[in-house]
Amino acid sequence: MIPGPTPVPEKVLQALSKHPIGHRSKEFQKLVESTTKNLQWLHQTQNDVLTITGSGTAAMEAGIINTLSRGDKVICGENGKFGERWVKVAKEFGLEVIKIDSEWGTPLNPKQFKKILEEDKQKEIKAVILTHSETSTGVINDLETISSFIREHKTALSIIDCVTSLGACNVPVDEWQLDIVASGSQKGYMIPPGLSFISISQKAWEASEKSNLPKFYLDLKSYRKSLLNNSNPYTPAVNLVFALDEALKMMREEGLNNIFMRHNKHKLAMSNAIKALKLKLYADEKYLSPSITAIKTEEMDAEKFRKIIKDKFDILLAGGQDHLKGKIFRVGHLGYVNDRDIITVISAISNTLLYLGKISTEEAGQALLVASKYLEIN
């Protein structure tokens, strides 16, 4: 129950363990064709969606270095570890960063984006880089509103880390006109880590013609050229593509709305059960990520709490990162997660709190009742 690698269905593991085939074979071309089509479905877009062998960070870096040039001015939204990382990437490549931040656990304020973008009459801002669902804090940023301000600016591209939102909640790439959307296989995709995905708008391709940042492995034009032939410029992780094909078929079978509703009810069950257990949510309750619930442990050491849950129940929860280490733990409910998994983790947390003498049996029962209400199994 960590926010990635997420659980992988047996069917997908079986696909993964097939003998690899030649990446220049007709059979593999068919796989590239079908996964590309299904990736466009998942992204709700007609844009190119490219598959890269690498982590989500590689995909975000690719989005940045393919569309921008040294000295370009960009806005970076920063309210967690991943927001921080994109600031680092932007600076490493010589971009001029205007930071819009907010305290970890709180969402970015869309009005700040609006103001800076509106004031930029010279259209010097070339991109707005931000994280949709902050895996480190369990906060979801209001991408719909922020992206509307980016669209109004007209020049700036949106470069969005949707690593823990895509495949968990609505990210309608064409409707919101998102230029670059990056995501990773070990999240909503229900497959092991190793692949990342990047959707690219026509506007972003046009910007790429002017980009002067050096790149080779992450030069997306090579991927676009190869994709015309349903191929790859370099040897891709063939077996992970087998797994991707299977997982995307499962997602199509479930349907986008059902996937989003499932994640939403799990978020509500988790967060409300946590409150019934007298624990506090780390993230602003109006901006809870559908994928991760971050929980404050206050006077308890979160690392010790995680260890008890691991030792007693063999359930791995994520810890806090950087300054949050020991202060929060995080429950991932992203990808191949069902109601039973949610009830199980709530029960394990309740049981541990009972064992530590932190709650009453009445409170433990209340948590289960509240969760069940949201899961609609009553």
C-alpha 218: how far from chain center: 20
Give the H or E element holding residue 130: strand 125-131
Residues in region 153-182 near its own copies by CB under 8 A: none
Q: Nearer to its own copies by C-beta: 107 or 332? A: 332
Q: Is residue 236 a contact residue for its own copies (CB under 8 A)? A: yes
What does the alpha-carbon distance between residue 135 and residue 56 come to, in Å, rounded to a whole number? 12
Which residues 6+ apart lie within 8 Å of 39 measured at CB? 49, 51, 197, 199, 248
User: 102 near 111, Cβ under 8 Å?
Assistant: no
Determine, following the binding rule CB under 8 A, whether residue 226 of this chain makes contact with its own copies. Answer: no
Number of residues lying near its own copies (CB under 8 A): 51
Q: Rounded distance, CA 152 to CA 320, Å?
A: 37
Q: Which of 50, 218, 283, 349 binds its own copies (CB under 8 A)?
A: 218
Q: Is 145 in the site for its own copies (CB under 8 A)?
A: no
214 is a site residue for its own copies (CB under 8 A):
yes
Q: Give 112's contacts (C-beta < 8 A, 6+ positions apart).
A: 100
Comparing CB distances to its own copies, the nearer of 40 and 222 is: 222
Report the site for its own copies in 314-333 (rule: CB under 8 A): 316, 318
Of 48, 61, 179, 245, the residue at the interface with its own copies (CB under 8 A) is 61
Nearest CA among 248, 245, 241, 249 for reference residue 23: 241
d(Cα 293, Cα 175) in Å, to the nearest integer? 28
**What binding mask, one character per residue, do residues 89-108 give for its own copies by CB under 8 A, x or -?**
x--xxx--------------
Site string for its own copies, 1-30 (x = CB under 8 A): -x-xx-xx----xx-xxxxxxxxxx-----
Binding segment toward its own copies, per CB under 8 A, in 71-79, 85-93, 124-132, 259-267: 85-93
Distance CA 348, CA 317 (A): 11
Residue (of 338, 340, 333, 343) closest to 295 by Cα position? 333
Note the residues at the interface with its own copies (CB under 8 A).
2, 4-5, 7-8, 13-14, 16-25, 53-58, 61, 65, 88-89, 92-94, 184, 186, 192-194, 213-219, 234-240, 316, 318
